[in-house]
Chains A and B, each alone.
Chain A
Amino acid sequence: AQSVTQPDIHITVSEGASLELRCNYSYGATPYLFWYVQSPGQGLQLLLKYFSGDTLVQGIKGFEAEFKRSQSSFNLRKPSVHWSDAAEYFCAVGVGGSTLGRLYFGRGTQLTVWP
């Protein structure tokens, strides 16, 4: 069965520091991979996605993520965090076929940014 693990429930970083949020997935084939961000009282906004091709993908707001098949990972990175990046981040895996569009989400990582 498909599953997504985000090992870090809460991460605190200082503004300007680099960031890496971890995501591991379990799926038998090559999945579609996503990172979403949720600010308080807001819906989920897509940061970036991986379907195929280059394993390093660029997203909005200066985020990037790298797909590593051997490690079943899709970690999110940002070289310099801004205070406005404080939010909850969700990794998700999508499967194709008749269930196109169904996403399996991790439990999320809450990011706190110190000024």
Chain B
Amino acid sequence: DSGVTQTPKHLITATGQRVTLRCSPRSGDLSVYWYQQSLDQGLQFLIQYYNGEERAKGNILERFSAQQFPDLHSELNLSSLELGDSALYFCASSAPGGANVLTFGAGSRLTVL
């Protein structure tokens, strides 16, 4: 157990729908990162939050959004889902001053039918 908790582990939904993925970082970590892992693109950085503020944005689609709450958990919202959004979505966290040392959760596998 890495200490980073992601729910749900698996999710099956239909095209056009909206889903929310949740992440609880390790205790004491202030940064949360979201990554997408797909066969086509590999591991792609989506977005980073630090203590509630957006810190960096990567290849995140406009249909996707995220936020980090005061208790530091984060949610990734995926809307108007397409078949190509099927992927494994990872959350990771790092400690203050953790200099890129990310601890990953087990991931949420999204299947869009």
Contacts and interface: CB of A to CB of B under 8 A. Distances in A.
Contact of B99 (A32, A36, A42, A106): A32
Interface residues of A, number: 25
Nearest to B48: A101
B42 A103 contact: no
Residue from the set A46, A96, A98, A101 with the largest chain B CB neighbour count within 10 Å: A101
Interface in B64-113: 90, 92, 94, 98-107
Interface residues of B, number: 24
Interface string B31-55: 1010000000011010010000001
Contacts, number: 63
A49 B101 CA distance: 8
A60 to B, nearest CB: 13
Label chain B's interface by main secondary structure: strand
A51 B99 contact: yes
A105 B92 CA distance: 14
A107 B43 CA distance: 7
B2 A101 contact: no
Contact of B2 (A41, A43, A102): A43
Interface of A: 32, 34, 36, 41-46, 49, 51, 90, 94, 96, 98-108
Interface of B: 2, 4, 31, 33, 42-43, 45, 48, 55-56, 58, 90, 92, 94, 98-107
